[in-house]
């Protein structure tokens, strides 16, 4: 059961715990059959909706944030300020959109005869899996990366552990480092439980209903699809599933914007920096590496592939998200957790670029609770030497300061260069080949689909990368 021995068995452990042979989708080079993998879900969109409804998941409301829209227009140029709508995923049984992912994974585990499910997550997904397992009578283990080496835990993660335990799950808490995946594999092998990973086809297919519902609800409310949907992105599954659902509903003209909290400069696997951040998900520490290398997840091939679907990628700062969380509560009467308001902060900024007759939708919210609330988050930051003040959020330095905007006009989403992110993705793909090896037509087509650009553009990027070598 040593580290190297367990890691050497990971492919066999994964196959046994998911019942998917990922090797059947491989081509032997760069390309793999993504859509073929997604078809292994085995349920239609309508069947997935029925599965979710059987445990109270989905059919969450959409609200028009009229007061927030009015505030936005006061800070926007004349004629600007799109109508802002919000899909309230906190209405799901476990309090977040992750219930959609968990519902399909846990249902499938029970269908296959597994006695329990395991998920490696420090976020809302753990509570979602625990909730669904309780409903379907399965045992549940949640593995969390929770503490630094001084055994100091983040209030948000500890809050989520309490929620998991309230649903009857066993929670295994670990310090930051490579032991998470090792312990996860050990538990899968020892228990024989189902791997309810965030990144299996089942998890992503569960999010497709969110995009589908959103399209249907907006057509009912305003007679058309939204112009823009803003999606918080970390591992990429939220963007992927929502976009696929929108596309399946015919909303192909909707612009998909990914949004992350800017935590540039903080290393997510650093023990010393682990507690220097106030967001455990929805930040660039996950968003960027998972966009450029999605298969760094806990399954052989991740079904969350955000570059296939994003039209734009923006960042917002921690202070801006905390500010918008307070604003949502105080002028709209909706108190929701900060991490779920990343896309709200981005949408508030992007709305000012759009015309008044256009529509922008904030794709999800999350529940709030004792450890997820603004005050414990900010108090924890102060305890860890973070400067807190009002001022210009543009001056915020991750790990050193959290700056709340002095005025809502200071909330400004910053565009990331998607072309550079695409280049990084293609560079990672090319690393799988020998320097002199030719890239096949199939590989070029695959990379074009993965990055949402033309084959010609992929060829130009490859030439540029090889020219640097």
List the domain boundaries for the chain.
3-50+96-201, 56-95+205-415, 422-468
Cα–Cα nearest to 173, from 122, 123, 128: 122
Assigned token pair, 418: 């998607």
The model's pLDDT over 372-424, given as tens digits with 9 standing for 90+, comes to: 999 999 999 999 999 999 999 999 999 999 999 999 999 999 999 999 999 99
The confidence score (pLDDT) of residue 267 equals 83
CB-based contact 297:173 (threshold 8 Å): no
Query: Do 261 and 230 contact (CB within 8 A), yes or no?
Result: no
Residue 76, classed as helix, strand or coil, is coil
Segments in 294-373 forming alpha helices (H): 318-332, 342-351
Structure confidence at residue 435 (pLDDT) = 59
For position 303, what pLDDT does the model report? Answer: 97
What integer pLDDT is reported at residue 268 of this predicted model? 77
* Average pLDDT of every residue of the chain: 94
CB 421 within 8 A of CB 292: yes
d(CA 246, CA 231): 12
Backbone angles phi, psi at 462, to 5 degrees: -60, -45
- What contacts 356, CB < 8 A, 6 or more positions away? 73, 79, 80, 81, 82, 83
Query: What CATH architecture does domain 3-50+96-201 belong to?
Result: 3-Layer(aba) Sandwich (3.40)
Give the chain's residues under pLDDT 70. Answer: 435-436, 468-469
- The per-residue pLDDT for 401 is 98
Class of the CATH-defined domain 56-95+205-415: alpha beta
Residue 196: predicted pLDDT:
96
pTM for this predicted structure: 0.96
What's the N-to-C CA distance of the chain in angstroms?
A: 41
**Structure tokens, 180:** 């998470």
Please give the torsion angle defined by the CA atoms of residues 242, 104, 298 and 97, in that order, rounded to the nearest 10 degrees.
Answer: 40
Radius of gyration of the chain (CA): 21
Q: Do domains 3-50+96-201 and 56-95+205-415 have the same CATH topology?
A: yes
Each residue's pLDDT tens digit, 113-128: 999 999 999 889 999 9
Question: Looking at residue 280, what is its pLDDT?
Answer: 86
Sheet harboring 139-147: ordered strands across?
A: 170-175, 139-147, 116-120, 194-195
- Cα dihedral sign, 73-76-79-85: negative
* Positive/negative CA dihedral, 272, 278, 284, 290: positive
| 417-to-39, 202, 362, 414, 424 alpha-carbon distances in Å | 32, 31, 22, 10, 11
Q: What is the pLDDT, as a whole number, of residue 468?
A: 65
Alpha-helix runs per DSSP H in 113-200 = 124-136, 155-166, 179-191
């Amino acid at each position: 059961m040593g580290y190297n021995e367990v890691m050497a068995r990971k492919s066999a452990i994964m196959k046994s715990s998911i019942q998917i042979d990922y090797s059947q989708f491989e081509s032997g080079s760069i390309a793999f059959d993504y859509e073929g993998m997604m078809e292994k879900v085995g349920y239609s969109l309508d069947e997935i909706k029925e599965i979710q409804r059987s445990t109270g998941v989905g059919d969450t409301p959409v609200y028009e944030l009229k007061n927030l829209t009015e505030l936005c227009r006061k800070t926007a140029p004349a004629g600007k300020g799109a109508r802002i709508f919000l899909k309230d995923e906190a209405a799901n049984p476990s309090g977040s959109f992750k219930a959609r992912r968990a519902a399909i994974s846990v249902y499938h585990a029970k269908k296959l005869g597994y006695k329990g499910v395991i998920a490696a997550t420090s976020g809302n997904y753990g509570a979602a899996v625990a909730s669904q397992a309780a409903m379907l009578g399965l045992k549940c283990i949640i593995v969390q990366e929770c503490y630094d080496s001084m055994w100091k835990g983040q209030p948000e993660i500890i809050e989520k552990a309490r929620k998991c335990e309230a649903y009857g799950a066993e929670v295994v808490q670990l310090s930051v480092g490579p032991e998470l995946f090792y312990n996860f594999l050990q538990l899968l092998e020892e228990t024989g439980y189902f791997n309810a990973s965030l990144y299996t086809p089942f998890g992503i297919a569960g999010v497709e209903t969110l995009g589908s519902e959103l399209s249907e609800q907006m057509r009912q409310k305003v007679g058309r699809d939204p112009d823009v949907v803003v999606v918080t992105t970390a591992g990429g599954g939220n963007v992927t599933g929502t976009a696929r659902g929108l596309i399946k509903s015919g909303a192909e003209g909707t612009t998909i914007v990914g949004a992350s909290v800017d935590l540039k400069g903080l290393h997510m696997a650093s023990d010393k920096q682990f507690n220097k951040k106030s967001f455990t998900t929805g930040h660039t520490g996950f968003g960027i590496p998972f966009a450029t290398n999605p298969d760094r997840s806990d399954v052989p091939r991740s079904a969350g592939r955000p570059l296939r679907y994003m039209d734009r990628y923006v960042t917002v700062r921690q202070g801006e998200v905390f500010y918008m969380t307070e604003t949502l509560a105080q002028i709209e009467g909706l108190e929701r957790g900060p991490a779920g308001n990343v896309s709200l902060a981005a949408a508030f900024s992007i709305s000012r670029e759009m015309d008044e007759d256009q529509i922008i939708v904030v794709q999800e919210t999350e529940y709030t609770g004792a450890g997820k609330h603004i005050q414990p988050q900010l108090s924890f930051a102060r305890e860890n030497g973070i400067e807190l003040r009002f001022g210009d959020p543009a001056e915020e330095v991750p790990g050193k300061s959290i700056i709340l905007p002095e005025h809502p006009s200071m909330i400004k989403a910053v565009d990331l260069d998607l072309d550079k992110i695409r280049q990084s993705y293609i560079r990672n793909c090319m690393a799988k080949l020998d320097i002199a090896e030719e890239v096949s037509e199939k590989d070029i087509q695959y990379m074009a689909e993965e990055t949402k650009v033309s084959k010609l553009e992929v060829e130009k990027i490859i030439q540029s990368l090889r020219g640097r070598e």
